[in-house]
Structure 1
Amino acid sequence: MARAIIKKANEADERRPFIAHGEATVLNLGALTVGRGFFEPGWQWSKDVKPLAGTESCEVVHTLSVLSGRMHIQMRDGQELDLEPGDVAFVPPGHDAWVVGDEPCRVVDFTGAEDYAQARTGKQEEPAQPPIQ
């Protein structure tokens, strides 16, 4: 039989700072991993998380609830979403996102926390060399 688990949201099991402009925190609740995102004004996935993820776009599935602030999401297929407090959204892989305005955006993510904002592992790609002129 499963046992009930309770944790304080501000006492995360793991903290994952972005390159700049915020962080993600992770709470492990047995079989469920919950993420909390704190995105400061100026945050953009392609600038602040892409170097950690090592992918062209965010390839994590998110099912999230926006607590405060605003975020714009642009899907690889061209679809665009504007999220604001009170919104609950499903965001499939293949997107970029950024904070809109001068208020931090805070979210709770119920599906993407396991792999989000993780430093890539394995073989690191060599940086591209500039063409010889």
Structure 2
Amino acid sequence: MTTRSAQAVDHRGFDNPDEVRQFEHGRSEVLHMGGGTIGRHVLHPGWRWRDDVKPLAGTEWCEAPHFQYHVAGTLHVQMSDGTEFDLGPGTVSSLPAGHDAWVAGDEDVVLVDWYGASDYAKRR
């Protein structure tokens, strides 16, 4: 016997997001679906959280925890404890609150973020 879910099926792409949050050197495209929020962050060379998003967030470090898949480019991350590392295409990362990050190199960084997109780059 086959049972069916009572929930409606929803499938969309980032080509038609619910919300686009623009900031210097990039944007965050946001979809609200399935009771959650998912974002695609497109960060251009020269982007750095401290310079481009911190003025919107109003916090010393990025306080949005992220669970994200890295599609393209290299992101250099510095945690508030001084730990630093690079994240590149094909990497899945779980970043806790308390970090800065910047695009390393001259290729756009593209990330799909399942956890931190709901409030990312919203003006406080």
TM-score of the pair, normalised by structure 1: 0.87
Contact 2:14 2:29 in 1 (8 A): no
Could you list the runs of 5+ residues in structure 2 that have no partner in the other structure?
Answer: 1-5
Q: How many residues align?
A: 119
Given the alignment of the two structures, is residue 65 of structure 1 paired with residue 91 of structure 2, yes or no? Answer: no
1:52 alignment partner, SS class: helix
Find the aligned partners of 1:103 and 1:116 in 2 and give their Cα distance: 22
Given the alignment of the two structures, is residue 2 of structure 1 paired with residue 7 of structure 2, yes or no? Answer: yes
Find the aligned partners of 1:6 and 1:95 in 2 and give their Cα distance: 32
Given the alignment of the two structures, is residue 51 of structure 1 paired with residue 52 of structure 2, yes or no? Answer: no
Find the aligned partners of 2:92 and 2:47 in 1 and give their Cα distance: 20
Could you list the runs of 5+ residues in structure 1 that have no partner in the other structure?
Answer: 121-133
The CA RMSD over aligned residues, in Å, is 0.7
User: Which AA in structure 1 matches 2:44?
Assistant: E
State the partner residue of 1:127.
Answer: none
2:14 alignment partner, SS class: coil
1:60 alignment partner, SS class: coil
Query: Once the two structures are superposed, what CA deviation does each residue of 1:1-35 show, in whole Å capped at 9, x if it has no partner?
Result: 322211122111000011x1011010011311000
Find the aligned partners of 1:34 and 1:76 in 2 and give their Cα distance: 25
State the partner residue of 2:19.
Answer: 14
| Structure 1 outlier segments of 4+, above 6 Å | none
User: Which AA in structure 2 matches 1:13?
Assistant: D
